[in-house]
Amino acid sequence: MKEKPAVLFTEDEIQKRVRGLGAEIGREFAGRAPCVVGLMKGCLVFMADLIRAIPLDLSCHFLRVRSLREDGAAAKVDIVYSTEVPYEGQDILLLDDIIDTGITLKFLLDHIQERRPRALRVCTLIDKPGERKIDVHPAWAAFTIPEPTKGFLVGYGLDYDEHYRGLPYIGTISRPGPADGRRSTLSRES
């Protein structure tokens, strides 16, 4: 049986913050047509709401990455899916669901910078600076959780083992243990 998540951010709090982010991003990219690149699958719901809140003409593209870590060791990051993203000379807004260690984000920033965009900004649903291993910072975060969390974040596109994505709020469930059998090595697929 699935655990009922404890609510961390309500649907109303999320929608209010997303509208605010849309206005801020709209001012930052005023007069331009940003290329929004979302990391699948976790940012899908956030991306859908945010692009409707940005008062600009924009294009949308998607990436999917896989980051494998074992026992806190350095990650191996691969891009496993990408649409044709026209990075060169473009204003890129990279959307992520959660920035924790920064390893995946650093890999993506380097990958995109090599393609010489005019501008590159990052917006994340959840920023967890207390878990950072690499010094990277988003331009915008819907919510910041400064200290490591005891629970696992789910809802509003965030999942645990493909469950909970459709919740309209962000909540926490107990952090699964090694006996759980699912995701026995730490891995992240956005």
Catalytic residues: 100
Contact predicate 64/82, CB 8 Å: yes
How many CB atoms lie under 10 A from the CB of residue 67? 18
Query: How far is Cα 155 from Cα 59, in angstroms, rounded to an integer?
Result: 26
Tell me which H or E stretch contains 82: strand 76-82
Closest-CA residue to 172 (of 146, 153, 150): 153
Query: How far is Cα 171 from Cα 151, in angstroms, rounded to an integer?
Result: 9
Contact predicate 12/35, CB 8 Å: no
Say which residue the tokens 């730490």 belong to: 186
Contact predicate 16/24, CB 8 Å: no
